[in-house]
Structure 1
Amino acid sequence: MYRNTSTPADDDGCGWFHLSPPRHARPAHSGRTKARWVVLGAGFTGLAAARQLALKFPQDEIVLIEGQQVGYGASGRNSGFAIDLPHDIGAPDYIGDPATARMNLKLNHFAQSMIRTWVADYSIDCQLRSDGKYQAAVEDKGLAVLQAYRSGLDKLGQPYEMIDARDLPEHLGTSFYRQALYTPGTMLLQPAALVRGLADNLPANVSLYENTVITRIEQGDKITLLHADGEFVADELLLCNNAFASHFGFLPGRLLPVFTYASMTRPLTEEEQARLGGKQAWGIIPADPFGTTLRRTPDQRLLVRNSFSFNASGQAQQRFLDRAARQHRTSFDRRFPMLANTPFDYTWGGSMCMSRNHLSYFGSLAPNVYAALCCNGLGITRGTATGTLLANWLAGEQDELTAFLLSSPGPNRNPPEPLLSLGVNLNLNWGQRRAGLEA
């Protein structure tokens, strides 16, 4: 028996969620339901896994369970970068081992292709654009990172453009940065709108239950998932709930729910847009992993994302949100003095499932229990790819991408509590201080 030790509890400030096209959440579950397949977690990974299982097993009923509303949790709270390139923040050049990098590149392209197809086939209004991304730097150490990343891209034969300070305002409006490395393959999108659109276009043999919090999992001849108003009885269980898997006793002491925080302005007026200048939509990731991510959205809002905390429970904490909001104001005004004090309409936090060695988990966890977990900050592409490939593998299919994922040793062990929380938060605070003007 696996008893849940923490349940999802995100804050209500996510701009992406509140600005996404309206939808009616599917009803919560009650009673007793039997199914061959149960997928726990309806984010990018779980939605992809349930969809692919339905296609591979058209005669089977697939149950998809979400503890909150679809799009309210982590998948709807990121910055909306569907990144094509390897993004190994543990490697000096963000690339790491070239052979591994090439496989990650194939995984990301595989995911991007599926996202494009789904958005087109179901007419999902999620602001999908192929605008690429800028990795920008202002500190000397950030400039060094760009040069290292450039050398890694050369090894992979991937296109890029180095843009100097004098030319950056034409692209971004702001003259804050000293250099940027532009890569054209990243897709930018509205993440909550995408997952909510996918949830409303699932195959007919997928039953989605929202606002259904599983409190206990029992294993026997069948797998029973219990909640306050009933239970599910499954032959096979897929865990696609990232760090919350550890609260059921799976991969204990290996997953790290690291929260990061974002604020989003009201729409800029036409006069403010003219004052800012630059392109009408873009995305910036920082050269320093502890720096500031920025988006200019198609509806002319500016998003600023930085600040980190380790919340072992996986739940939002107001004190961290308040601290981040203050940093967002400083970071925004520093980059956009021509728009200083433009009010934020929304401020929110969201968790990333990380591991100390930056590796994911893919495959079997226990008899008839399988998982695709821990995207290490690349949830849109990695979650979409691994959810789909996990379903393919369970259908008896295996290709080079599946073999690559199965060969991974997975997340390594963390120190025990309370050393873990103390150490991770100290490291996060130090990293943010050390980022300097990149923050």
Structure 2
Amino acid sequence: MQLIKNAQILLENQLITKDVLIDQGKINKVSDHIDYANAEVFEANGLFLSAGLIDVHVHFREPGYEYKETIRSGSQAAARGGFTTVIAMPNLNPVPDSEEKINAQILLNKANGLVHIEQYGALSNGLTSTHVTNIEGMSNAGAKAFTNDGKGVQTADTMLQAMIAAKHVNKPLAAHLEDNTLIHSGVMNAGQIAERLALPGITGLAESTQLARDLVLARATGVHYHVAHISTKESVSLVRMAKKEGVHVTAEVSPHHLLLSEESILLDNAMFKMNPPLRSQQDREAVVAALLDGTIDMVATDHAPHGEEEKQQSFLEAPFGITGIETSFQLLYTHFVKTGIMTLKTLLERMIDAPATAFQLEAPTAVVEGARADLALFDLENEYEIETNEFASKGKNSPFVGWKVYGKTIATWVDGKIVYKDNVK
């Protein structure tokens, strides 16, 4: 039994100091003052206690790419970021594209994970974008949703058949939008910055044209269609229109697309290389506005660790992707909540409530009696600098290193057990 003393909890958009008693993995009591003789006491000292954050888009790389990340290191990074539930992508080796492979992956996640790790099943065999997998079998085995992540589905019929199957099992289908015929070996957003750096560009049409196709198919099938890492103003407009027309569509945006634009890329520095790429300032402003008005439902990090040598290469050779799960809440709290652009309540809704609801997760969304004790304690008052030597992830590939932020994670509980504790002095 644990007793968290003097934690601030968000109640009706106000921070109120409460004690929280944890027993057998659940919140037993929340009150102004709790004394319990046999409890292990954790003194929160007025720090902010929240339900654990949820990330529906992470890459933990195991099996197949353990030099980039492992399930253990990825889940340690999640806990350090304040996340207690994640959904892991299927771009692994072997790809979890069958009932047997999903079973094996779920067992591996449970054996090595420190947080709750749900699993995406592959939409197509081997993520090749051609033949649709046995979605019903993988759903029965425990796949939480389905995706072709990392590769756009190139044929409309493949997407249509996948949507029909996902609708049948009532599971979300998450889309990485990328029309290969419009990529032209691009490595960053097409525009003046790419021209100045003499790098091939990727037009935003590669995303939005495929999204337009998929939204028509989603309307026809009634599937829950989820847009991964949305990045352009055209895509935002399409999602906004589709929602008004009753299409069952949700969307996520990554912190880097909210905070950075192509103008952030001053040199050929692959720490700024991700897919979709950093877009124009207009695109950035559009996704921020859409997150505020609810057109974009949630934040997801697209946590994508790579080996150090890989990301030391130029834009032309380095892989796409950056890490993000250890800095997501902190960056958004600092740049949106502390500046008054967004309330803390809204940020938590986008990082907890919306993903839990959309993906039918059992994760708790508030610090209330009877809820599973998945909790995160944050220091909202003291500034600190993002440093790679403090990362729990194997991946150090972040463009935010050196940024000063608030909201450091002090402790994280999963099922009532502390899985991360900051080395505060």
TM-score (norm 1): 0.26
Tell me which of the two structures has the higher relative contact order, counting C-alpha pairs closer than 8 angstroms and 6 or more residues apart.
1
